[in-house]
Structure 1
Amino acid sequence: MKKNLIILAEILVLFVFLRSDFAAYFLDDLRAATADKIEAIATMPERRELQKLRDSIRPHIANMNDAQKSYLEDVTENKDKLNRFYYLYCVNKDLNPYVYGANLVYFCGEVSRMGLVSS
């Protein structure tokens, strides 16, 4: 009987603790940190491919101005942005105010060559 009371008291203390604001804050931080780490692990191959693309275009874009370089860094941040850019400006030939002419042709060629766009 004494064991049952101790177990019941432990469950009650645990229940009260888990309903407290401190526990909610702590568990939310733990959940967020875990989710961030899982996302980082899941996107690691994608980030490596995009880094290879950035490394391959870096010598060619060295003569661009800072706004153009920043724009291409933003475009190569993730595959969704890269796919959107590729289909708008490489496939559909829409006008891009930052990257155009030989730079656009080179960038589109590199993206296509590396197979980074989904069909």
Structure 2
Amino acid sequence: MLRFFIITAEIIVLVLILRSPFVQYLFEDIQHSVSDWFISMSTLPEQRALSGLRNDILQQLKPLKPYQQNYVEQITVSTDNVKRFYATYCEKDDINPNFSGTKRAQLCHTIMQSSLMRKPQ
């Protein structure tokens, strides 16, 4: 009988501790950290492909002016930005204030050759 009361008291104390604001904050913090880790792991291949594309562009279009380098950084932030740029300035042949002529043609060719533009099979 004494064992039952001790186990019941331990369970009640455990429930009270787990429901305390500090423990809830700690669990929430752990959940956010693990969630952020999973998100970064799931986007790692995309980020590597974007980084590779950015490096390819910067190598093939040397020398670039600082505003052009910043523009390449903005383009290669996400796959959606790359695809939007390609659709607007490469497929529709819209005027781009940062790249024109052969540099734009090289940029479009580099983007087209990247793994980001390949359709999933």
Pairwise same-fold verdict (TM > 0.5): yes
Q: AA paired with 2:64?
A: M
- CA–CA separation in structure 1 for the residues paired with 2:115 and 2:62: 23
Q: Secondary structure at the match of 2:99?
A: coil
Deviations 1:3-34 (A, max 9, x none): 33233223222322232221222112111111
Shift of 1:95: 2.7
Tell me, which stretches of 5 or more residues in structure 1 are unaligned? none
Q: Within 5 Å, which residues of 2 pair with 1:1-119?
A: 1-117=1-117
TM-score by length of 1: 0.82
Amino acid of the residue matched to residue 116 of structure 1? L
Identity of aligned residues (%): 33
Instruction: Structure 2: state its 5+ residue gaps.
Output: none
Query: Equivalents in 2 of 1:99, 1:18: separation in Å?
Result: 59
What is the Cα deviation at residue 36 of structure 1? 1.4
**Cα distance 1:86–1:8, how it changes in 2: closer, same or farther (>3 A)?**
farther
- Taking the aligned partners of 1:19 and 1:97, their CA distance within structure 2 comes to 58
Distance verdict in 2 for CA 1:76–1:13, change over 3 Å: same
Instruction: Measure the CA separation in 2 of the matches of 1:11 and 1:97.
Output: 68
Structure 1 stretches of 4+ moved >4 Å: none
* Cα 1:71/1:4, change in 2 over 3 Å: farther
Instruction: Identify if the C-alpha distance between structure 1 residues 12 and 50 changes in structure 2 by more than 3 Å, giving closer, same or farther.
Output: same
Shift of 1:118: 5.6
Count of aligned pairs between the two proteins: 119
Relative to the length of structure 2, the TM-score reads 0.81
